[in-house]
Amino acid sequence: MTKFTDLKLGPKVQKAIAEAGYEMPTPIQCEAIPAALDGRDVLGIAQTGTGKTASFTLPMITALNRGRAKARMPRSLVLAPTRELAAQVAANFDTYSKYANLTKALLIGGVSFKEQDQLIDKGVDVLIATPGRLLDHFERGKLLLTDVKIMVVDEADRMLDMGFIPDIERIFSLVPFTRQTLFFSATMAPEIERITNTFLSNPHRIEIARQATASETIDQSVLMFKGSRRDRQASEKRRALRALIAAEGEKLTNAIIFCNRKTDVDIVSKSLKKYGHDAAPIHGDLDQSQRTRTLDSFRGGDLRILVASDVAARGLDVPSVSHVFNFDVPSHAEDYVHRIGRTGRAGREGKAVTICQPSDETNLADVEKLIQREIQRVDPATLPDMAPPSRTRRPRKEDAPAAPVEETTAPDNVVASEQTRAEKPPRNRGRGRGRSSDDRRRDEPVIGMGDHLPSFIELSFAERLAS
């Protein structure tokens, strides 16, 4: 059986690997590292959680040990689709290059351009970036890519989903033709295959598992949910999620809950907090510093439940995630594989539960077709009671028992007063009530410019006559 010591990695890299506690490489590492060390292009296709990041970081560090970077001209380039994945790749480089004298820069959005410019100006051996921020620096004249010797594209299928393919093609045109290219993806869509045929030269192809398959160590199930009424469906669905969490009990050490929409991420997170769960949201609209703090808390075990959009479906490496809940069935079947791949990593056991509404059944069928298996249905009877708590109606005034009426004889003066009131004609309360408009006009005196002459007019005439 192959060990890391059997691979032709540099002694400084071997020392860092041993200190990190790794001894046996994963299957994709066994095949990708020797080919990369030989200078060949590599096309790696493997499901998430199989150790793809180390497949390119380890040979890159070994190759870059020789030489020195020039100002604004990085020697290698790693492209990642999201800030979180880019930051994670940077963390891997820090771990494995502990004893190598290499410089690194991380170019992601949400961070000051000034700080990133200062790093680039000094010269970096490894440049890790998202496509958008990389092109921003290039267009500002702060970056040259003519000295890139190794280029890595990680999670290429996610790049396709996020619309980065035109940016990737432009970046390929900016780097030297003689570069070495390492290309990794979990799935191979036709557009991805076109790019690999265009920009890779006779690559060493590695396909560890069937495309878009989930790990066998993940227990998958789905709850078929239907709300009682349309206006109650959202709240009842959140109650179903809480019931699924409660059903796991102490087996749930930490969990990631995926939602299709960013608004639902915030709503679900607030709902879980309201009912006593330790939860926090993460999605693309949040400030980068807040996203970083949330991820660090989750990785460190201070946060139990992470409610996320698909920004966390790729590359988020938390080895001990016990559960994944899909609050929504993803609209793209491939995203299901990446979501549940956050659990059951590196041979560990995990559990993934999905909530499926009637409108999501078509997407669920696409998922089952992709993974080539039927997902087990959850029996609602095994869950805690999901019915809404009964509420006691407040007593209304008309519900109060009527007070008993006692029969009494009215005094003589009261009887006489009632008789007198009955004999009098009814008074008109309010102006003109009970009378015709003609009668009102005859009785009321007319005041205007008829018989009445204002005194100021008489005075003016008297003065005129006197003059």
Q: Is residue 231 part of a domain?
A: yes
Question: Is residue 399 pLDDT above 60, yes or no?
Answer: no
Lookup: tokens for 166: 């035109």
pLDDT one-digit tens code per residue, 21-67: 888 998 899 999 999 999 999 999 887 667 888 999 999 999 998 88
Question: Is residue 459 pLDDT above 60, yes or no?
Answer: yes
Is 87 found in the same domain as 60?
yes
pLDDT one-digit tens code per residue, 308-343: 987 666 656 676 899 999 999 998 887 888 888 888
- The pLDDT value given to residue 50: 75
Give 185 or 387, the one with higher predicted confidence: 185
Percent of the chain at pLDDT exceeding 70: 78
Is 132 found in the same domain as 85?
yes
Give 47 or 112, the one with higher predicted confidence: 112
| Least confident stretch, 54-58, 111-115, 167-171, 440-444 | 440-444
- The pLDDT value given to residue 407: 47
Is 248 found in the same domain as 134?
no
Count of beta carbons in the 10 Å neighbourhood of residue 101: 10
CATH label of the domain that carries residue 242: 3.40.50.300
Question: Is residue 464 pLDDT above 70, yes or no?
Answer: no
Identify the band that residue 430 occupies on the pLDDT scale cut at 50, 70 and 90: very low
- The pLDDT value given to residue 432: 46
The full DSSP string for 67-114 is S-PBTTB-SEEEE-SSHHHHHHHHHHHHHHTTTS---EEEE-TTS-HH
305-308: strand order across its sheet:
279-282, 305-308, 255-258, 323-326, 350-356, 218-224, 376-377
pLDDT one-digit tens code per residue, 130-161: 999 999 999 999 999 999 999 999 988 888 87
- The pLDDT value given to residue 129: 96
Question: Is residue 297 pLDDT above 70, yes or no?
Answer: yes
Question: Is residue 13 pLDDT above 60, yes or no?
Answer: yes
Question: Is residue 365 pLDDT above 90, yes or no?
Answer: yes
Q: Which of 145, 174, 207 is the last residue of a domain?
A: 207
Is 9 found in the same domain as 108?
yes
Question: Is residue 397 pLDDT above 60, yes or no?
Answer: no
Per the prediction, the chain carries an average pLDDT of 83
- The pLDDT value given to residue 411: 53
- Partners of 223 in beta bridges: 355
Q: Is residue 75 part of a domain?
A: yes
Lookup: tokens for 418: 């009632």
Q: Which of 207, 234, 266 is the last residue of a domain?
A: 207
Cβ–Cβ < 8 Å for 54, 135 = no
> Among residues 384, 387, 356, which one has the least CA distance to residue 220?
356
Is 376 found in the same domain as 232?
yes
Is 140 found in the same domain as 223?
no
> Among residues 196, 200, 197, 180, which one has the least CA distance to residue 76?
180
Give 23 or 411, the one with higher predicted confidence: 23
- The pLDDT value given to residue 388: 47
Cβ–Cβ < 8 Å for 154, 87 = no
| Least confident stretch, 179-183, 288-292, 420-424 | 420-424
Is 239 found in the same domain as 117?
no
Q: Is residue 73 part of a domain?
A: yes
Identify the band that residue 425 occupies on the pLDDT scale cut at 50, 70 and 90: low
Give 396 or 234, the one with higher predicted confidence: 234
Q: Which of 180, 207, 234 is the last residue of a domain?
A: 207
- Partners of 70 in beta bridges: 73
Q: Is residue 441 part of a domain?
A: no
Is 375 found in the same domain as 241?
yes
- The pLDDT value given to residue 38: 94
**How far is the C-alpha of 445 from the C-alpha of 451, rounded, in Å?**
11
Q: How many domains does the chain have?
A: 2
Q: Is residue 442 part of a domain?
A: no
- The pLDDT value given to residue 443: 57
Question: Is residue 88 pLDDT above 80, yes or no?
Answer: yes
Identify the band that residue 457 occupies on the pLDDT scale cut at 50, 70 and 90: low
Give the residue carrying structure tokens 């003689």. Answer: 178
Domain that holds residue 177: 4-207
Q: Is residue 451 part of a domain?
A: no
